[in-house]
Structure 1
Amino acid sequence: MRMGLAIDASCDLPQAFIKEHDIAVMPIAVHVDKDTFKDDRNPAEIQRFLDQKMGSRSHSASTEPCSVEDVQKLFLEKLVLEKDCVFCLTITATRSPINDHVIKASFAVLKHYRDVRDQTTMPGPFLMRVIDTRTLFAGAAPAIVEATRLFKSGEAPAAIRERLTYVANNSYGYMLPRDLYYLRARAKTKGDRSVGLFSAVMGSALDIKPLLRGYRGETAPVGKVRGFEHGAETLFDYVCKRVHAGLLVPVVCISYGGDLADVPKLPGFEALKAACEECKVELMIAPMSITGMVNVGEGALTVGFAAEEHVVEF
């Protein structure tokens, strides 16, 4: 059985990994004033967004996740002809409509795929499974990486779905924002009251930043740090402890809304790298999606891993 993966563009993974595993990306259109960006994890498009310094004015941007019709088109014109089973993984359904769009599209895909496959004499059924990773950005990486491992091991679709659901329910996505004013302005634009004006003003004045966690569909602050550099060190140190405690999937993914060359320079990165090497855990560094930068601001840092449920220790 030919297995395949499709992800939404907000799932942060290195482009090399996406190409290596032939992962289809469901794009998001981002409109900033008169500029439009196709967010499909193309490094050149991400760099174009950064080069044009959109960060200061993109809090008012509008985003258009891949529509139901576009998902249907991707599958019926391409994926049902190339694969026999495709798992679609998305960021949490509580923060994006893409999961709902994919589920709705799946009904039409499963209804019409036989007509498409019959025209090319492709025998057998086609399966489409949708998994909500229940987290954000780099937090989606563990389930996606695990899917590729399960494909290689020849696991059956039912077993893969069960395992990915378990990993998703135990995936953690932590975020350290750089600009609280931006985060508050974006939240206000979207009608999200999770970042109040008082908190933004006081946080910016004192350089206090929240550490946010996306976990099981909920996004909430779990700690506070003074300064971005100290925050990165605190976050990396915490992830080191989780790596040593044991992960469900041997991977840690870091995503960053800026020049990736800056990531290894952050305090605590070398210690995290050493911990991953010691525990044989792959450390990935990926650009944050354009959609991610629009929603949380340029320069934000996210880290994702999957582990058994535990008490947050910040």
Structure 2
Amino acid sequence: MRIGLVVDSACDLPGEYFGQHHITLLPVTVHIGEDSLTDLRDEQETLRFLRSHIAERGADAETSPFTVQQIQELFLSKLVIDYDYVFCLTTARSRSAIFENATQASFAILNEYRPIRAAAGHDTPFALRVVDSQNVFAGQGVTAVEAVRLIEGGEGAPKIRARLENLALHTHAYMIAPDLHYLRARTRKRGDRSVSLFSAALGSALDIKPILHCNRGETGAVAKIKGLEAAAQRLFAFAGERVRRGLMTPTLCLSYGGDLAEMRALPGYEDLRTLCTGYNIEMFETVMGLTGMVNVGKGALVVGFAAEPHVFE
């Protein structure tokens, strides 16, 4: 059985990884004033965006995920021919409309694929499953890597489906948001009142950096640390401790809202990288996608992994 994988462009993995493993992308388009940019997981394009005048207006951006019709067209024109079963792994449905759009599109796809496959010489059924990763950014990347491992390992669709749905419950993303004013402006535009004006002003004045945690579609602060370097060191050390205690997949994902050289210069990074090597954990590093960058701001740092329930220490 030919099994394919589709993700949206908020999934933070290196751009070359998508091509190497034949992952299909559902791009998200970012609109800022009269400018529009499509997030195709091009790290250099994302960095050019950061350095342009457009980035200064990022808090006012609008994002447009693939519509129901666009998803239908992608599947019916290509994927129902290339594959027999497709997993569509989306960013958390609590943060984006992509899951709902893909789910709605799936009904029409499954009703209309037969003559298209028959014309291509395939007389077997086609199936697809939309899976909510229940996570964001580097967290979604962890689940995507596991999907690739299972597909390339020859596992059947039922086992892959059960594994991904279970893994989604145990995937964690921890993020440092360096600019609270930006984060507040962005969350308010999305209708989220979780960052108040007072906390943003106070945090910025005192150089307080929150560490946010996303799991099962819910996001909240788990620590507030003075100074970006101290916060990064604390986060890297915590991730290292989870590695020592054992992860549920041999994968740890990092994404950063800027040049990766800046992330690699942060205290604690090198210790985490060395530790992952020693424990045979594959560490993926990527510039945060344009979609994520617009939503959380320049300089954000995210660490994603899968682990049993735990408390940030």
Structure 2 length-normalised TM: 0.98
Q: Give the conservation status (yes or no) of the 8 Å contact 1:37–1:45.
A: no
Cα distance in 2 for residues equivalent to 1:240 and 1:291: 27
1:224 partner amino acid: K
Cα distance in 1 for residues equivalent to 2:236 and 2:202: 25
Cα distance in 2 for residues equivalent to 1:22 and 1:169: 25
Give 1:44 shift. 3.9
Give 1:56 shift. 2.2
Cα distance in 2 for residues equivalent to 1:54 and 1:266: 27
Cα distance in 2 for residues equivalent to 1:45 and 1:179: 22
Unaligned runs of 5+ in 1: none
Q: Secondary structure at the match of 1:285?
A: strand
1:131 aligned partner: 131
1:28 aligned partner: 28
Give 1:53 shift. 4.2
**Per-residue displacement from partner, 1:96-117 (whole Å, max 9, x unpaired)?**
1101111111111111111111
Give 1:311 shift. 2.2
Cα distance in 2 for residues equivalent to 1:53 and 1:6: 32
Q: Secondary structure at the match of 1:57?
A: helix
1:16 partner amino acid: E
Distance 1:53 1:286, change over 3 A: farther
Give 1:267 shift. 0.7
Cα distance in 2 for residues equivalent to 1:33 and 1:73: 28
2:99 partner amino acid: N
1:295 matched to 2:292: no
Q: Give the conservation status (yes or no) of the 8 Å contact 2:43–2:289.
A: no
1:155 aligned partner: 155
**Per-residue displacement from partner, 1:37-58 (whole Å, max 9, x unpaired)?**
0012123431331231433211
Identity %: 47
Cα distance in 2 for residues equivalent to 1:72 and 1:131: 16
Alignment of 1:47-62 (within 5 A): 47-62=47-62
Moved over 2 A (4+): 42-45, 53-56
Structure 1 length-normalised TM: 0.97
2:306 aligned partner: 306
Alignment of 1:45-194 (within 5 A): 45-194=45-194
Alignment of 1:146-295 (within 5 A): 146-295=146-295
Q: Secondary structure at the match of 1:163?
A: helix
Which piece of structure 1 moves more, 149-158 or 235-244? 149-158
Unaligned runs of 5+ in 2: none
Q: Secondary structure at the match of 2:174?
A: strand
Cα distance in 2 for residues equivalent to 1:300 and 1:43: 15
Cα root mean square deviation, aligned: 1.0
Cα distance in 2 for residues equivalent to 1:142 and 1:253: 6
Cα distance in 2 for residues equivalent to 1:2 and 1:35: 39
Aligned length: 313
Cα distance in 2 for residues equivalent to 1:261 and 1:19: 23
1:75 partner amino acid: F
**Per-residue displacement from partner, 1:53-79 (whole Å, max 9, x unpaired)?**
433211011111111111111111111
1:15 aligned partner: 15
Which piece of structure 1 moves more, 43-52 or 125-134? 43-52
